[in-house]
Amino acid sequence: MDKRPVDAAQPIKSEEQVLSWFVSPSDDTSISSSALLILQETLAQHTQEMQEMSALFKRQVQELLTITTSRDLLDLPTDHQIRLRWQQISAQFPRIQVNPSVMNGEPCIAGTRVPVSVVLGCLADGYSPQEVIEEFGNLIHDDVNEALLFAARLTWLD
């Protein structure tokens, strides 16, 4: 066991060195006092470092949350702008209806429960407009055309 006097300016080299000061009784009580002083200083230093790291981490997380939720930084439209745009688009397409109580708000052919996405999917799969009309029975040719126009309008960049 290490029974040499402790030099407060020297860093602690191992846990065993520190434990030896406490576990093995010594006639020289200054060793225990010195070891305790070093431990207290080291603990205070590490506590300060951990508090600084914690504060830095909190600031970084807050900055990240601010960045990811900032509409200006991401250039996202406001809810009001989205509603206005939707009103403009829906006014152009009276045969397309969006109602939260019908198909969970998915755009549908008005008066039916046929989603625009299903009509488009059928056309993409090679169905002719007439085959889509026959498949669903409650659609007319103008419904299929408006579904196509609606999808095209949604892809336009303003």
Distance CA 44, CA 38 (A): 10
- Average pLDDT of every residue of the chain: 77
Q: What pLDDT shows up at residue 126?
A: 94
pLDDT score recorded for residue 156: 74
pLDDT in tens, 68-92: 555 555 566 667 777 777 777 778 8
Cβ neighbour number for residue 79 with a 10 Å cutoff: 9
Tell me the per-residue pLDDT of 106-146, one tens digit each, with 9 for 90 and over. 889 999 999 999 999 999 999 999 999 999 989 999 999 99
Task: Single out the residue of 129, 131, 144, 133 nearest to residue 96, CA to CA.
Answer: 144
Ordered domains of the chain (ranges, CATH)? 15-71 (no CATH), 77-155 (1.10.10.10)
pLDDT of residue 129: 94
Whole-model pTM above 0.75? no
Joined together, the tokens standing for residue 39 give: 């431990």
Residue type, 111: G
d(Cα 113, Cα 97) in Å, to the nearest integer? 10
pLDDT of 43-68, one tens digit each? 888 888 888 888 888 887 777 766 65
Residues 3 and 23 sit within 8 Å (Cβ to Cβ): no
Residue 39 pLDDT greater than 70, yes or no: yes
Contact 108, 138 (CB under 8 A): no
The angle subtended at Cα 101 by Cα 99 and Cα 107, nearest 5°, is 35
More confident residue, 155 or 133: 133
- pLDDT of residue 157 exceeding 50, the answer is yes
